[in-house]
């Protein structure tokens, strides 16, 4: 199991398009992927669950990945978040 703390630095936070990108990336892997922020936890392969967290810019969250391809999955999701979902510099 891999746990990584990530911060949202893109303009929109984890809403609509960025959430869809995150879910689509997570869905490419077999591992179980979860996002935790405060008392809330969501399945990162469910767009409704991810958007339901209401994570905005500046929020940090814990990414937990568990499974046979956890390393590749966690790296892909970390790159996505750190690239600000392609929203610019």
Q: Is 64 a catalytic residue?
A: no
* CATH classification of the domain holding 60: 3.30.1340.10
The predicted structure's pLDDT at residue 87: 79
Give pLDDT tens digits for 31-83.
999 999 999 999 999 999 999 999 999 999 999 999 999 999 999 999 999 99
Contact indicator for 29, 72 with CB cutoff of 8 Å = yes
The predicted structure's pLDDT at residue 86: 85
CA distance linking residue 72 with residue 59, whole number of Å: 24
Q: Which of 71, 62, 4 minimizes the C-alpha distance to 31?
A: 71
pTM of whole model > 0.85?
yes
Active-site hit among 15, 19, 64, 85:
15
The predicted structure's pLDDT at residue 39: 94
Instruction: Supply the range of the domain harboring residue 50.
Output: 2-86
Looking at the structure of the chain, the number of domains it has is 1
């Amino acid at each position: 199991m891999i746990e990584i703390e990530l911060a949202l630095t893109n303009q929109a936070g984890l809403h609509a398009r960025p959430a869809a990108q995150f879910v689509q990336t997570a869905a490419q892997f077999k591992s179980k992927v979860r996002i935790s922020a405060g008392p809330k936890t969501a399945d990162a392969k469910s767009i409704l669950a991810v958007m339901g967290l209401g994570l905005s810019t500046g929020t940090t969250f814990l990414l937990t990945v568990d499974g046979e391809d956890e390393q590749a999955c966690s790296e892909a999701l970390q790159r996505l978040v750190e690239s600000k979902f392609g929203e610019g510099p």
